Amino acid sequence: MKHFTNALKKAFCLAASFCLANSAFAANLSGKSASELAKMIRVGWNLGNSLDATGQGANAETSWGNPRTTKEMFDKVKEAGFNAVRIPVSWSTHVSNNGQYQFAIDGQWMARVKEVVNYAYDNGMFVIINIHHDNDQWHMFPSNQYLNQSKKYVTDIWTQVAKEFADYDQHLIFETINEPRVVGDANEWWFVPDSPTPSVAEAIQCINQINQAAVDAIRNVGGNNMDRLVGCPGYVGSIDGVTTSNFKAPDDKAQNRLWISVHAYTPYDFCMNPDKQSHAWNQQFYYDIQWLYNSIRDKVMSKGYPVYIGETSSSNYFNTEDRKQWEKCFFGFSKDYGVPCFLWDNNTVDNKDGAERHGYLNRRTLQWFEPSLITTIMETLGWNPTSVNDEIANEWSVYADGNSIRINSTAEIKNVDVVSINGTKVAGLASCGNECSINVNHNGVYIVVINTESGTSVKKTIVK
C-alpha cells in the first residue's frame, strides 16, 4: 500500500470514508503465483489470542483477556508498515452437527470472523486465516485412530469458510492448520527429523493427509478459491516438520498456489526460554538464525515452494536493546532470503510466564508498547514511512489537463478512482492500460487512487 507524506495523509483522510469502505480500494489481485505473492508481502502481524481464544459464544474473542478487535487496531498496524496480518481462528467451540455438516460453524461466529477479516482486507492488506487451537481428539488430531474424523473436520470447516469467502481475491490467504502435533506426547514439541519416534512418524503421515483434505475442500468450492494461496505446515509447524523426509506437500488442482508455513522463535534460548539465565544477544544466535534460513532455502524453497514464517517474536525479558539486535538479524535474513515473516503479538508484556511476553501493540490504547522495536523491524526491511518515493509512487504520474485528470503508469492500470476532498467518489475507470484520462467537470482538489499489480497508491491533484 502506498505511504503518504503528512500533508497528503491529512487530505486523504477526508476521502477515507469512501475509500476504506469500498472493496475496490484494494487492488483486485488475481493470477499471481505463490512466489509472486510472497514477494508482495513485506511483513505481517498476528492478532494473537483473540479470535483463536477458545471461549464459547459471541464473546469468545475476549475470553483470554484481550479487548474486542476493532478496525482501528488494523489501521495502526498498517500505519506502522505492516502490509499483511494473520488472524488465527479457533472454530471448535463454535461448531455443532446440523445434519448437513457434522461440524457446522455457528453463523454468528462466522459473521464475526468475516467482520474482522474485512477490517484488514478492505484496508488493502493481505490477510491469513486458519484453523488454530483445534488440535484435540474431538476435532483434529494427527493419529491413525483419529485420522478419519480429523479429515472430516478440516473438510467441513474449510468447505464452509471457502464458500463464505469465495469472492475474495488473492489478498485473502488460507492456512490449513496450526502447529499440528501429538498433544501430550513426550515429543509433542521436539523431535529428531532423521529418526522420529513411531508416534511422531505416524503423526507426520496423518498431517500429510489432513493438509491434503483441507486443500481439496478449498479447491472444490470453486470461485476465487481456485486462485487462492493456501499455506500448509508440517509437524508442530517447525522447520524440522517440513524438512523431515516423511513430510509431503499436498497435490493441488491449482497451479503454483501453495506455500509452506513455518513457525520460528529462533533461537529458542533467546526468544522464549524462561530458564535461560541471560537473554543477552550473542554471535552464536546469528548462526542459529542463519541455519534456519539456509534450511528453508536449501530444503524447501529449492523444491519450488515459497515459505513464510507465520509466527516469530522474541519474548520480553526487559532486554529491549538485545531484542533489537535479534530483529536486525532475523528480519535481515527475511529480506535477503525472500521469506516474509509475521510477528506474533498476544498483547502481553508482563505475565509471569516469561516465554509468552509477546506484546507489541497495546490494543486498548492503540499505542506500541516499545515503538523502537517496530521501528527497528521496518528499518531493517528498508521501509521508510515518511518517504513517498517508493516503488509504487515511481510507477505512475498524475496531472491536470483542463477539467481532466491524466494518469500515466509503467504498470498496467487495473482501476482508478477519483475522490473529492470531502470523500465523494466523482469518477472511476477500470482496465485502462497504461494511461487514461478522466473528466471531473469541476475545479477543485481531488484524490486519485490507482490499482496496479504492485498494489494501491494514492496521489493528490488540483484541477484549476
At 448 the pLDDT is 84
- pLDDT under 70: residue ranges of the chain: 1-27, 385-395, 399, 401-402, 421-423, 443, 454-457, 459-464
The pair phi, psi for residue 310, each rounded to 5°, is: -70, -20
Residues paired with residue 127 on neighbouring β-strands, in sequence order? 85, 172
How many CB atoms lie under 10 A from the CB of residue 402?
11
Quote the CA–CA distance of 170 and 37 in Å, as a whole number. Answer: 8
Quote the CA–CA distance of 211 and 233 in Å, as a whole number. Answer: 8
At 20 the pLDDT is 36
At 450 the pLDDT is 83
Cell 496480518 belongs to which residue?
85
At 221 the pLDDT is 98
In tens, the pLDDT along 383-436 reads 875 543 344 444 677 767 667 787 877 778 888 888 875 667 888 888 788 788
At 1 the pLDDT is 35
Quote the CA–CA distance of 151 and 267 in Å, as a whole number. Answer: 33
At 24 the pLDDT is 33
Plot region of 256 (φ>0 → left; ψ -120 to 50 → alpha; else → beta) = left
In tens, the pLDDT along 99-114 reads 999 999 999 999 999 9
Question: Nearest-CA neighbor of 260 among 313, 207, 221?
Answer: 207
Q: In Å, how far from its chain's centre is CA 354?
A: 25
Strand ranges (DSSP E) for 169-252? 172-175, 230-233
At 401 the pLDDT is 66
Between CA 407 and CA 457, with CA 444 as vertex, the angle to 5 degrees is: 35
Residues designated as active site: 179, 311
pTM: 0.80
At 461 the pLDDT is 61
Please give the domain boundaries of the chain with CATH numbers for all domains: 1-30+391-464 (2.60.40.10), 32-381 (3.20.20.80)
What crossing angle do the helices spanning 198-221 and 147-164 adopt, rounded to 10°?
A: 30
What crossing angle do the helices spanning 283-299 and 320-337 adopt, rounded to 10°?
A: 20
The pair phi, psi for residue 230, each rounded to 5°, is: -125, 125
At 411 the pLDDT is 77
At 297 the pLDDT is 98
At 106 the pLDDT is 98
Give buried/exposed letters for 418-433 (b at 16+ CB in 10 A, else e): bbbeebebbbeeeebe
Which contacts (CB < 8 Å, 24+ apart) does range 275-284 have? 279/317, 279/319, 279/322, 280/319, 280/322, 281/322, 281/325, 281/326
DSSP secondary structure, 244-297, as one string:
STT--PPP-SSSS-EEEEEE---SHHHHT-TT-S-----HHHHHHHHHHHHHHH
Rounded to the nearest 10°, the torsion over CA 182, 187, 193, 198 is -70
At 445 the pLDDT is 74
- Beta strands 367-368; 361-362: pairing state: antiparallel
- 328 Cβ contact list (under 8 Å, min separation 6): 376, 380
At 459 the pLDDT is 66
